[in-house]
Amino acid sequence: MSTKHSIRIMIADDHPVVREGMAAMLSNIPDLELVGAAEDGVEAVAMARTLRPDVILLDLVMPRKGGLEAIHDIKEENPDAKILVVTSFTEDDKVFPAIKSGALGYLLKDAPPEQLLQAIRDVYQGESSLHPTIARKLIQEISQPSPLPPTETPLTEREIAVLRLIARGLTDQDIAHNLSITIRTVRFHVSNILSKLHVANRTQAALYALQEGLSDLEDLDEPRH
């Protein structure tokens, strides 16, 4: 039975075995509640509109409407939608557009269950969650010239400190503890960082930090405490 604290989850995947497998896994986790399962992109957009789930687990290749288009449509209708891509595809033309469209996380289907569960909770909290393979691809991409436009307003020393911790994958609570400030203050800094960097979410802010040398790949792989 769900409680008022449950994270409401929707799945969008055209493979019944994937939907059923995820449903079975989620049914054993007290704080996670499966509220819907879509079989294609069109159904995913409609279901997201109706159910307003806390987290959407979405595949990228689906009939009628692909995952990238579904992400775009879902975010257009609800900019606060939290989407975790769970797919088998690692091609650049899938990974980068998904992140740029606003997906907070990107996992491969071979990820162990505990990694998926952690990713769900991270995305629910507004944190980024990237499979190590995807993180490395993004690092390679941002090492090329082009990326994000420079900020007109420089980040403050405190904002840089917060950004470094975002790039390490820390939650707002962890950042607050690390810097001895309140969670409300952390969220204020995060909002300013996103605005100054002209990015849509923490994942893109983390990539900016990596590009500017404020963090590195080893930071992404550090265990959380």
Q: In what order do the strands lie in the sheet with 105-108?
A: 32-38, 7-12, 55-58, 83-87, 105-108, 129-130
Q: Residue 17 and residue 23: Cα distance in Å, rounded?
A: 10
The residues, any chain, with a CB within 8 Å of residue 36's CB and separated by 6 or more, are 10, 11, 47, 51, 53
pLDDT digit string (tens) for the chain, length 225 residues: 444 578 999 999 999 999 999 999 998 899 999 999 999 999 999 999 999 999 999 998 898 888 889 998 999 899 889 999 998 877 766 777 788 788 888 888 888 889 899 999 989 988 877 776 776 666 566 555 444 455 667 889 999 999 988 887 778 888 999 999 999 999 999 999 988 888 878 878 887 887 777 765 444 444 344
Looking at residue 140, what is its pLDDT? 61
Looking at residue 215, what is its pLDDT? 64
Question: 37, 19 in Cβ contact below 8 A?
Answer: yes
Supply the pTM of this predicted model. 0.63
Give the CA count within 13 Å in the CB-facing half-sphere of 204: 21
| Total number of residues shown for the chain | 225
Return the SS3 of 12.
strand
Which position has the token pair 């019944």? 16
Q: Which CATH number fits domain 147-220: 1.25.40.10, 1.20.1290.10, 1.10.10.10, 3.30.230.70?
A: 1.10.10.10
* Dihedral sign for Cα atoms in the order 99, 101, 107, 109: negative
The residues, any chain, with a CB within 8 Å of residue 1's CB and separated by 6 or more, are none
Q: Pick from 26, 62, 24: which is nearest to 44 by CA?
A: 62
Domain range summary for the chain, segments of one domain joined by +: 7-140, 147-220
The C-alpha angle with vertex 72 and arms to 91 and 190, in degrees rounded to 5, equals 90
Q: Which CATH number fits domain 7-140: 3.40.1190.20, 3.40.50.1950, 1.20.1300.10, 3.40.50.2300?
A: 3.40.50.2300
The residues, any chain, with a CB within 8 Å of residue 127's CB and separated by 6 or more, are 104, 169, 171, 202
